[in-house]
Amino acid sequence: MLLRPDHRVVISVTNRSLASLVGVSWALPLYRFALMRCACVDALTEGVRVDLLQRDIAGEKIAVPSGSAIDVEQYQPSQAKEPWVVFVGRLIEDKNPVLFLEAVPAIHRADPAARFFLLGDGPLRPQVERALDRLRLRGFVELGFRADLAPVLGKARVFVSLQRQDNYPSQSLLEAMACGAVPVATDVGLTWKLVDETTGIRVKPDPGPIAEAVIALLQDPQRCDRLGRAARPRVVEQHSDERYRAYLNSLYARVEA
């Protein structure tokens, strides 16, 4: 931007914490400078927009999309659902992978046929491994990274999303809902925009309520099917790649004006 001051730049901001987004403290002033100078800021959520306003970024140059986008043709429900409970995410504190594992024993006792997946990798892998041993879950939980999640999500009945700040617009949550998996999600941030009483269950970040919500869904397949059928249209209508491309085109049109 310094070398090409005539160029009109769009910057996307995906995190309310600029420090976490940038990663290194010395680069933060440069990033703030870029935000002040760019032509348009693409803020991932309304929460990010509010944070940017508090940092004196001009409101008229901030745009907020309807959320992330997914390929709704790739992520579709399977013909037959299984009693699978799936957690997907990078193994970091904000995603709460250990909290998911702490809810699993109660679910397994209530429904021995349930199968559990914790799919992802990251710095908390050693803690997750220790939790598997502490809770005696070896053999009951599949742990690891999968490049293609569609086959698992397509068959899953329940998807668990336990982020500490916000589950909206979590990419894996959108993919799961497009596959008709019913979300059980922590009631934080803008999660309600995706998960309400018609599409899933919002819970407190505690193993007990999480387990109770999952058990209630597994023991009531008809309710599970009803919520899953409502979850997919929510994603298809608001988070298709066509809709997101139209939003991006509107940003470029604004910059060119």
**pLDDT tens, per residue, the chain with 257 residues:** 888 888 899 999 988 788 878 888 899 888 989 999 999 999 988 888 999 999 899 999 999 987 788 899 999 999 999 999 999 999 999 999 999 999 999 999 999 999 999 999 999 999 999 999 999 999 999 999 999 999 999 999 999 999 998 998 899 999 999 999 999 999 998 899 999 999 999 999 999 999 999 999 999 999 999 999 999 999 998 888 888 889 999 998 988 86
Question: How far, in Å, are 12, 13, 22, 235, 254 from residue 64 at the CA level?
Answer: 10, 10, 20, 17, 13
Bond into 169 cis (ω within 30): yes
Residue 76 · residue 154 · CB < 8 Å? yes
Q: Say how far apart CA 220 and CA 250 lie, in whole Å.
A: 44
DSSP 59: G
* Burial of 254 per CB tally in 10 Å (0-12, 13-18, 19+): middle
CATH of 82-238, one of 3.40.50.2000, 3.40.50.2300, 3.40.50.620, 3.40.140.10: 3.40.50.2000
Every domain of the chain with CATH number 3.40.50.2000 lies at 82-238
> Nearest 10 degrees: CA dihedral of 92, 54, 190, 37?
-80
Residue 159 · residue 180 · CB < 8 Å? no
